[in-house]
Structures are given as structure tokens and as C-alpha cells.
């Protein structure tokens, strides 16, 4: 699944599902997609094979469409209902980690240079986007894991098009 190689026909199908499908149809579509990716229920380490199957830029419109299909499949608070499609929900939840790793790798490959931090590569990438496409004002508090008595780490969060997020640690590395 790559930006250049993803057939127009495939993008149109995703778009149609995102707008026209019933929740059941959208869930079946997502289940087929997860099956095609061989998405596990649990990832213990970065699944490099899965990450390399996806070569879409973080700003690619497909991510918005994918997000819309997930919301269509699980409207309202049904994503929280443990009785409905628990396995598919688990795969989608795990897929979020694959997406984050893939997008960090994409930025490193396209904008990174030897000797620079991930934050510097991300800054170069953000310069190619309209300022309306991203925000650096989102709270990273949920990504700041601490034990009592420890100094609070100051992770930094950048969000692109409301779906894509990058978390940077204090040293400027993707978290």
C-alpha cells in the first residue's frame, strides 16, 4: 500500500465506504483490510514487515479516509463496547502503533540526514505543509509516563490533519 502505487480504484473504494457504507459494511471492509495486512491481535515489537507494506506520507488523504471508515464502522461510543467485534477493534488499536512507526520512519527516510535528530527531520517536513495542516499545541500529557518522585519528562506532540501524531522526547527523538 503506497501513495504512488495505491490504485485510484482502491482509493475510490475506500472513499465510497467512508461515506456510503453501513456500520456493518464498514466493519467487514476493515476486517478484510486487517486480514490482507496479516495484522496480529497483539504486537510485541515493531512489526517491520507491516511497517514496510505502508509507504504513505503522513499528510496523505488516505489517512483521513481510513479514519472516517473506522468512525463509520464504530459510530458513537461503539468502539468502547467490548461485546461487538472485539478482535477487529484490537487489530485496529494495534494498527495505530504500526501507523505511528511507519510515519516516523517515513519522515526519517524523506527528511532525515545523518547527525540530525528526528525533531530536525520533522521540522523540515512540517515546512512543506501549510500551517493549517498541523498543530504543535496538543497536550502530550498522556505520553509522559512517570513514577512517583520522578522528574516529569517533557515529551512534545505534533498533530497533522487531526489523525497523525508524532511524539518527540526531550532529546528530539521519536517516542
Lowest mean pLDDT among 6-10, 38-42, 90-94: 6-10
Write out pLDDT tens, residues 16-26. 998 999 999 99
- Sign of the C-alpha dihedral computed for residues 61, 58, 7 and 10 taken in this order: negative
**Residue 92 burial by Cβ neighbours in a 10 Å radius (0-12, 13-18, 19+):** buried
Sheet holding 134-135, edge to edge: 134-135, 156-160, 164-168
- pLDDT, position 146: 47
pTM for the whole structure: 0.81
Write out pLDDT tens, residues 36-85. 988 988 887 656 677 878 889 999 989 999 999 999 999 988 877 776 67
Residue 18 CB neighbour total at 10 angstroms:
20
- pLDDT, position 5: 53
Write out pLDDT tens, residues 116-162. 999 999 999 999 999 999 888 765 444 444 445 555 557 788 888 87
Amino acid at each position: 500500500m503506497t501513495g504512488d502505487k495505491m490504485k485510484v480504484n482502491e482509493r475510490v473504494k475506500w472513499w465510497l465506504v467512508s461515506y456510503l457504507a453501513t456500520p456493518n459494511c464498514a466493519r467487514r471492509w476493515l476486517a478484510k483490510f486487517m486480514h490482507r495486512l496479516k495484522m496480529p491481535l497483539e504486537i510485541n515489537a515493531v512489526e517491520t514487515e507491516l511497517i514496510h507494506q505502508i509507504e504513505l506520507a503522513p499528510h496523505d488523504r488516505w489517512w483521513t479516509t481510513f479514519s472516517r471508515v473506522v468512525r463509520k464502522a464504530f459510530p458513537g461510543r461503539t468502539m468502547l463496547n467490548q461485546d461487538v467485534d472485539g478482535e477487529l477493534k484490537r487489530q485496529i488499536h494495534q494498527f495505530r502503533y504500526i501507523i505511528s512507526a511507519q510515519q516516523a520512519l517515513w519522515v526519517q527516510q524523506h527528511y532525515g540526514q545523518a547527525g540530525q535528530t528526528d525533531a530536525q527531520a520533522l521540522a523540515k517536513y512540517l515546512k512543506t505543509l501549510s500551517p493549517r495542516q498541523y498543530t504543535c499545541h496538543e497536550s502530550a500529557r498522556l505520553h509522559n509516563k512517570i513514577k512517583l518522585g520522578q522528574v516529569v519528562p517533557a515529551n512534545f506532540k505534533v498533530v497533522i490533519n487531526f489523525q497523525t501524531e508524532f511524539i518527540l522526547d526531550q532529546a528530539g527523538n521519536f517516542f
